[in-house]
A and B are shown apart, each in its own frame.
Chain A
Amino acid sequence: MTKILIDDVEIDVPPDYSLLQACEAAGAEIPRFCYHERLSVAGNCRMCLVEVKGAPKPVASCAQQVKDQRPGPNGEPPVVLTKSALVKKAREGVMEFLLINHPLDCPICDQGGECDLQDQSVAYGRPGARFDENKRAVEEKQMGPLVKTVMTRCIQCTRCVRFVTEVAGVPEIGATGRGEDMEITTYLEKSLTSELSANVIDLCPVGALTSKPYAFNARPWELTKTESVDVMDGLGSAIRIDARGDEVLRVLPRVNEEINEEWISDKTRFAVDGLKRQRLDRPYVRRDGKLTAVSWDEALIATAQTLRAGPDRIGAMAGDLACVESMKATLDLMGALGVKNLDGRPTGAKLGGGPRQSWLFNSTLMGVEEADVLLLIGVNPRTEAAVFNARIRKMWLQGALRIGVIGPRADLRYPYEYLGAGPQSIAALSGDFLDALKAAKRPMIVLGEGALARADGAAVLRAAGRLAASVGIVKEGWNGWNVLHGAAARVGALDLGFVPGDGGLDAAGMVAAADDGKLDTLFLLGVDDAPLPGKGRTTVVYIGSHGDAGAHRADIILPGAAYAEKNATWVNTEGRVQHGRRAAYPKGDAREDWSILRALSAVAGKTLPYDSLPALRAKLIADHPTFGHMDYAPGAADSAGFDPATLGAEGSLGAEPFASAVAAFHLTNPIARASLTMAECARAAASTAHIAAE
């Protein structure tokens, strides 16, 4: 630790702190444009100038370290001034230069109201302009369907260049030319290909890079901001949902160091326009082969009738976006009816039952920063958990992580050792990488749904578990056994025990039974991305928000709320219980899912014992204490007796190579499929993939 005197406040900071960090630690506010905590230091905006006693001129505080400052003549701590006349003059000078070429188009700029340049020119700029020449103008640049550019506004902070190069791992943006003619562009104005590309919109301190889908939609002060969690993948990223009236306009990331740092994927950010399209806004019942709009009473009565079938002839499945409350209500209703055909894993991942650790990401997402060897099995983190992939890349960049892959050979934005394509390679793993795993202090094995949602999934689980046990994956304070779920609902379903009861059918079994006419009623809680039964005698009841595959097949549709329209609980892949909050109301006659099930239970004569969300949550926590720990990832806490070698079942491993559970990143759920923005991104991604293949 090094002592330093900042504005007469003496503080003790680590010697490798930059002056800027030290100033912040001392409570002094330092304006900045180019500096960003999570990016490399560029030092080119000069806004963070401070006065250092003994230095001939103001210094850029972001690019100077505390340990490099000279002490006083008698060994006194170095003195930094952030409020002196020199600093004020320097800031005003820098701001004046920045504004020389910055257009005065704030009234038509989308960044207006949340613009660093605007705010800082008010706080640190000088009043009035002295520049009478023409301002520079820069040609517009294309950056793809998400990022709108007005490059005249660019102040060349190069945050976007550093973000795509360092965090996203796709060095596609650069600064061409120099001096006044420096321009930020992609090579030949190609679209950005990263799944995280839209984070440059948040990073841009001015209105040069703004959100294309949100262009000219709203001003920040008109919006209601709701802090919530994301459901587009299994990470549960922290988001802020901005809505005006009943319309969700945009999603922004919130900082959560343990999950998403401050990034979110493009899908998280831009799939929200799917909340306005393809919505189920009133109940439907299929009559004479046609879905007919009916009242809630009719729909509930019709549904209750289907529940009169024997418990063996009823089944229920929960899909990728289902919240814990709706699954709990479904389970309670099905339990009251004695139904055992239950499955919350419609894609058929062979998980569930047994210790909770077996389906969690036990290292925690942050744990990858401690890990030294990482083995990815049947998972493509780039598409299944884009934000987590950036974290893996960060550790690879620091040289702290050795990465091996068994499964699809995809471009993960970092190099890795390719160890095989299919299940056989798990058992056959040997040599250098196995030795490294065994020798590792913090080994990690990550299984994806691509490895488990297949016919030999249980055998794969056993083989991977055996490998994990053989390398000592569970250590003091560390559990390196990880399952990376692609769906927001999955861990919640498994925690609730939404798996077949004794003698009950699993998802594939239910579909087969329905096709064979052995099932009369099938409840789909937002199941769209899984095999569904063909048209037949089975009455399919669909509770969900979007008219997608499930609603297409359904005979009764009970319209529910999408994730932004309800207060609900999700459990992320780490087992972290998080509350999403309502930013808008459900569309039309749609209702929150749990209340649909509560109403249905009353009509069916099996009234559920809760009338409100708090009552439901109280019951939930009473039945499953894990849901009482909010925002807590158990990690290695209860892993003492956990033996991965006992997971799954013996069986023969197939030869078929693993495929990623996510084929098209932008189209993984009904909301994203309803989104025009995502459709455009998917088209762009497909065409780049096509070009790359040529």
Chain B
Amino acid sequence: MSVRRLSPDQPASFTFRPDVLETAHWWCAKYPTERKQSAIIPLLWLVQKQEGWVSEPAIRALADMLEMPVIRVLEVATFYTMFHLAPVGKHHFQLCGTTPCVLRGADDLKKVCRKRIGEKFAVTADGLFSWEEVECLGACVNAPVVAIDDLYHEDLSPDDLEKVIDALARGEAITPGSARGRQTSAPDGGARTLTDPTLYDGSLATPLTLPNLPETAP
């Protein structure tokens, strides 16, 4: 992690789109009026969803909306690294760089990102891609993992990642989940233990007699 600063290039103003504003009010309504600043994190998310990043005018707008000091909004926005303080690409890659993913080849994925996208947080010329390295995404069983936009792409080899980038560049939809077709985090290539079908058909069960049962009626 490094020092997080607001981007030097800021838009002149920020306004919620009407539909997003409605969602924002929905979030605000979850909290008592005198504690409305509790809605700051959902609202920052909404800002980021709408704009792709959190701009300085947006921070001021949220402070006004939630009647809280603007420095408090800045504190929250700079505390959480998932809020982007500078523009990112249309597709933002969060590449897990923690030990299990590195052991499973995250460094090779990083090379792909460097080659295809550029340095961390740099946005490609077409505005489509940017990437960053993040701490553990909590999907170590499926390492290496890259979160693209909101969804996890797992078990990625460098080629898989290139293919994903190619698909996104063509504007195609991509499928999240394991690149090798694993079912969630089940073992690679199917189950390797408890594979005996008799385990499941009841044939291994021995008839059981409980002691002291009342005699059954004839």
Within 8 A of B (CB), among A330-361: none
Q: Closest approach, in angstroms, between the C-beta of A181 and any C-beta of chain B?
A: 5
Chain A residues engaging chain B, CB cutoff 8 angstroms: 165, 171-181, 183, 185-188
A176 to B2 Cα, complex, angstroms:
12
Q: Contacts A179-B1, A181-B2 known; A173 to B71 CB distance under 8 Å? A: yes
Nearest 3 pairs of A and B residues by beta carbon: A174-B71, A171-B69, A176-B78
A405, B1: Cα distance in complex, Å:
50
Name B2's closest neighbour in chain A (CB-CB).
Answer: A181
Q: How far is the CB of A135 from chain B (nearest CB, A)?
A: 15
Nearest Cβ distance between residue B125 and chain A, in whole angstroms? 30
Q: Is the CB of B72 within 8 A of A174?
A: yes
Q: Using Cβ atoms and an 8 Å threshold, which residues of chain A touch B2?
A: 181
**Min CB gap B10→A, angstroms:** 10
Q: Give the interface SS of chain B, mostly helix, strand, loop or mixed.
A: helix
Name the distance in Å between A171's Cβ and chain B's nearest Cβ. 4
A176 and B72: CB pair below 8 A? no
Q: Complex Cα distance A178/B82, Å? A: 13
Residues of A within 8 A of B78 (CB): 176-178
With A171-B69, A172-B69, A181-B2 already in contact, 9 other A-B pairs whose C-beta atoms are closer than 8 Å: A171-B72, A174-B69, A174-B71, A174-B74, A176-B74, A177-B79, A178-B1, A181-B4, A187-B71
What residues on B are CB-neighbors of A178 within 8 Å?
Answer: 1, 78-79
Q: Are A172 and B71 in contact (CB under 8 A)?
A: yes
Task: Say if the beta carbon of B173 comes within 8 Å of chain A.
Answer: no
Q: Name B64-87 residues within 8 Å CB distance of A.
A: 69-72, 74-75, 78-79
Nearest residue in A to B59 (C-beta to C-beta)? A187
Interchain residue pairs with CB less than 8 A apart (29): A165-B69, A171-B69, A171-B71, A171-B72, A172-B69, A173-B71, A174-B69, A174-B71, A174-B72, A174-B74, A176-B4, A176-B74, A176-B75, A177-B4, A177-B78, A177-B79, A178-B1, A178-B78, A178-B79, A179-B1, A181-B1, A181-B2, A181-B3, A181-B4, A183-B3, A185-B71, A187-B70, A187-B71, A187-B74
Task: Give which listed residue, A172, A174, A188, contacts B75 with CB less than 8 A.
Answer: A174
CA distance A242 to B25 in the complex (A): 56
Chain A, interface SS category: mixed
Q: How far is the CA of A178 from the CA of B69 in the complex (A)?
A: 19
Contacts of B72 in A (CB 8 A): 171, 174
Docked Cα-Cα span, A558 to B1, in Å, equals 66
CB-CB under 8 A from B4, the residues of chain A are: 176-177, 181
Residues from chain B with a CB closer than 8 A to the CB of A176 are: 4, 74-75, 78-79
Nearest-Cβ distance from residue A501 to partner chain B, whole angstroms:
55
The distance from the CB of B75 to the nearest CB of chain A, in whole angstroms, is 5
Measured CB to CB, the nearest residue on chain A to B80 is A178
Complex Cα–Cα for A188 and B69 (A): 13
A172 to B71, CA, bound (A): 6
Kindly state the separation between the CA atoms of A177 and B74 in the bound complex, as whole angstroms. 9
What is the CA–CA distance of A250 and B6 in the complex, to the nearest angstrom? Answer: 37
Q: Map CB proximity to A onto B79-108 as digits: 1 under 8 Å, 0 otherwise.
A: 100000000000000000000000000000
Q: Which residues of A contact B75 (CB under 8 A)?
A: 174-176
Which residues from A are CB-within-8-Å of B1?
A: 178-181
Q: Is there contact, CB below 8 Å, between B3 and A177?
A: yes
Which B-chain residue is minimally distant from A183 (CB atoms)? B3
Alpha-carbon separation in the docked complex, A177 to B70 (Å) = 15
In Å, the complex CA distance between A183 and B72 comes to: 13
Q: How far is the CA of A188 from the CA of B5 in the complex (A)?
A: 10
Q: CB-CB < 8 A to B56: which residues of A?
A: 188
A174 to B73, CA, bound (A): 10
Q: Contacting B71 at CB < 8 Å: which of A179, A180, A181, A186? A: A186
In the complex the two chains form, what is the Cα distance from A185 to B78 in whole Å?
A: 12
| Minimum CB–CB distance for A133 against chain B, Å | 16
For residue B74, which residues in chain A have a CB less than 8 angstroms away from its CB?
A: 174, 176, 187
Closest beta carbon of chain B to A323's beta carbon, Å: 42
Chain B, 42-70, contact with A by CB distance < 8 Å: what is the 0/1 string? 00000000000000100000000000011
The winner among A171, A173, A178, A187 for most chain B CB atoms within 10 A is: A187
Shortest distance from the beta carbon of B136 to any chain A beta carbon, whole Å: 16
Closest to B79 in A: A178
Chain B residues with CB below 8 A from A174, complex form: 69, 71-72, 74-75
